[in-house]
Amino acid sequence: MSRARDQSTSITLGQMHSLGCRDLLVYCRSVECNHSITMNADHLPDDTLVRPLGDRMVCTKCGRTGAEVRPDYSPHTNRINPDAHELTRRWRERG
């Protein structure tokens, strides 16, 4: 049950690109370190699974092997943010 769910959440870079997302967010698995970076994955094949990529990564800050990798949707968020600001401004003007 939960296994099928895991597979569906583990998308490939190709699927990620089709969602308009070009970068990966990489988080160190150490809670004390909490290091995170954004990484461009254009050089990797489209059929590369996103989540297993983290198992091969080494944190540049604490040296720990293994990271959490997920698609970086922040370019979308940044595009949405100006609208949110606009909305806030309108609310302020009204009130």
Binding site for Zn ion (CB under 5 A): 28, 30, 33, 35, 59, 61-62, 64
Shortest Cβ 27–Zn ion spacing (Å): 9
* Smaller CB separation from Zn ion, 15 or 66: 66
* Class of residue 11 by CB neighbours under 10 A (exposed 0-12, middle 13-18, buried 19+): middle
Q: How far is residue 57's CA from residue 47's CA, in Å, rounded to a whole number?
A: 18
* Smaller CB separation from Zn ion, 49 or 62: 62
The rounded radius of gyration (Å) of the Cα atoms in the chain is 17
* Smaller CB separation from Zn ion, 13 or 28: 28
